[in-house]
């Protein structure tokens, strides 16, 4: 009798959770109707275990979201003693590619200056510097070594084959650096749950994620005042009126203490950048309003 009672209680709990997330899914799906783009969404709550996926298993081009993954590969090497993030790296003029987003190139366009690996990580993740990113890929041993790291820790549906410079040479190359919204949520979950990094590396990653300057009008824009967010964005150019990527992946803590991960990828957008960002911002607000 006791087992039957517990079974019924568990069934009611599961049904309630399902109905609650289905209500949220329906609200987001209704909102997306008529929007001229494809959205991929993955949500996981640390606070109550709720999950939500809309096109969460579909592949999307990452663009600069992959700088987050590159940062993880670098911090893994630091934890293994293969490098020290305080080591200084000489930045040469040939490292500073033109016609690409690069705050470090603004420091000294002629090169021949040094930055620590930690500073390169900050520029790459927090400011999405493309040249800093490609220097870090070299430090990590190249895209194949980065891919192997994620294969070894069991991350599925993540593929990195090209650096920023290579993506800038050809429109189609960006689609080879791909992942799914669920995979993006899973790697953030792993960082918190699987003790992938030392406290020092985790704290530095948290710092540069929460200091991110890009994408202020995406997941972050309509969060309640006092929310904490660490995130990494990705954005493509436009080709024949189509934007291939307006992305953001984030860990969030609402003022009421509710903690969750949200990964949003937008592709095939005929909306302009501000309109696509508004879609993402509204999706984020629907979710935060639901749990605040």
Block mean pLDDT (10 aa), the chain, length 292: 38 46 95 97 97 98 98 98 98 96 95 97 98 98 98 98 96 97 98 94 98 97 98 97 98 98 98 98 98 93
Q: Alpha-carbon Rg of the chain, whole angstroms?
A: 20
Note whether residue 252 is domain-resident. Answer: yes
Structure-block tokens of residue 258: 């509710």
DSSP state of 256: T
Please report the pLDDT score of residue 7 as a whole number: 37
How much of the chain is helix, strand and coil, in % rounded to 5? Answer: 50, 20, 30
The mean pLDDT value of the chain amounts to 93
- Domain hosting 236: range is 34-65+142-291
Please report the pLDDT score of residue 22 as a whole number: 92
Please report the pLDDT score of residue 180 as a whole number: 98
Note whether residue 190 is domain-resident. Answer: yes
Query: Catalytic residue among 42, 64, 126, 281, which?
Result: 64
Note whether residue 6 is domain-resident. Answer: no
pLDDT tens track for 204-216: 999 999 999 999 9
Which of these, 243, 245, 275, lies nearest to 263 by C-alpha position?
245
119 carries an active-site annotation: no
pLDDT tens track for 121-179: 999 999 999 999 999 999 999 999 999 999 999 999 999 999 999 999 999 999 999 99
Note whether residue 77 is domain-resident. Answer: no
Q: Are 261 and 182 in contact (CB under 8 A)?
A: no
Please report the pLDDT score of residue 19 as a whole number: 53
Note whether residue 215 is domain-resident. Answer: yes
The span from the CA of 121 to the CA of 75, in Å, is 9
Please report the pLDDT score of residue 9 as a whole number: 34
164 carries an active-site annotation: yes
Note whether residue 73 is domain-resident. Answer: no
The span from the CA of 49 to the CA of 68, in Å, is 24
- Please give the tally of structural domains in the chain: 1
pLDDT tens track for 261-274: 999 999 999 999 99
CATH number reported for the structural domain that contains residue 283 in this entry: 3.40.710.10
Note whether residue 197 is domain-resident. Answer: yes
What pTM was computed for the model? 0.92
The span from the CA of 179 to the CA of 182, in Å, is 8
Query: Catalytic residue among 164, 186, 201, 263, which?
Result: 164
Note whether residue 161 is domain-resident. Answer: yes
Q: Are 148 and 155 in contact (CB under 8 A)?
A: no
């Amino acid at each position: 009798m006791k087992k039957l009672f517990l079974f019924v209680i568990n069934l009611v709990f599961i049904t309630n959770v399902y109905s609650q997330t289905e209500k949220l899914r329906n609200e987001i799906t209704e909102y997306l109707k008529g929007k001229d783009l494809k959205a991929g969404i993955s949500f996981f709550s640390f606070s109550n275990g709720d999950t939500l996926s809309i096109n969460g298993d579909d592949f999307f081009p990452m663009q600069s979201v992959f700088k987050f993954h590159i940062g993880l590969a670098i911090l893994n090497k630091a934890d293994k003693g293969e490098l020290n993030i305080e080591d200084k790296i000489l930045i040469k003029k040939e490292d500073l590619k033109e016609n690409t987003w690069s705050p470090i190139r603004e420091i000294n366009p002629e090169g021949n200056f040094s930055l620590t690996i930690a500073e390169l990580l900050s520029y790459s993740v927090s400011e999405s510097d493309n040249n800093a990113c490609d220097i870090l890929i070299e430090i990590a041993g190249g895209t194949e070594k980065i891919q192997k790291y994620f294969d070894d820790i069991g991350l599925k549906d993540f593929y990195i084959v090209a650096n920023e410079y290579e993506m800038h040479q050809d429109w189609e190359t960006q689609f080879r650096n791909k992942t799914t919204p669920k995979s993006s949520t899973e790697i953030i979950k792993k960082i918190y749950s699987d003790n992938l990094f030392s406290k020092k590396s985790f704290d530095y990653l948290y710092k540069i994620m929460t200091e991110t300057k890009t994408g202020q009008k995406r997941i972050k824009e309509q969060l309640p005042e006092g929310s904490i967010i660490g995130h990494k964005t990705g954005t493509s150019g436009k080709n024949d009126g189509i934007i291939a990527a307006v992305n953001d992946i984030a860990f969030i803590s609402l003022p009421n203490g509710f903690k969750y991960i949200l990964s949003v990828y937008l592709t095939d957008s005929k909306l302009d950048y501000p309109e696509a960002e508004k879609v993402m911002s509204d999706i984020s607000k629907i979710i935060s309003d639901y749990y605040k």
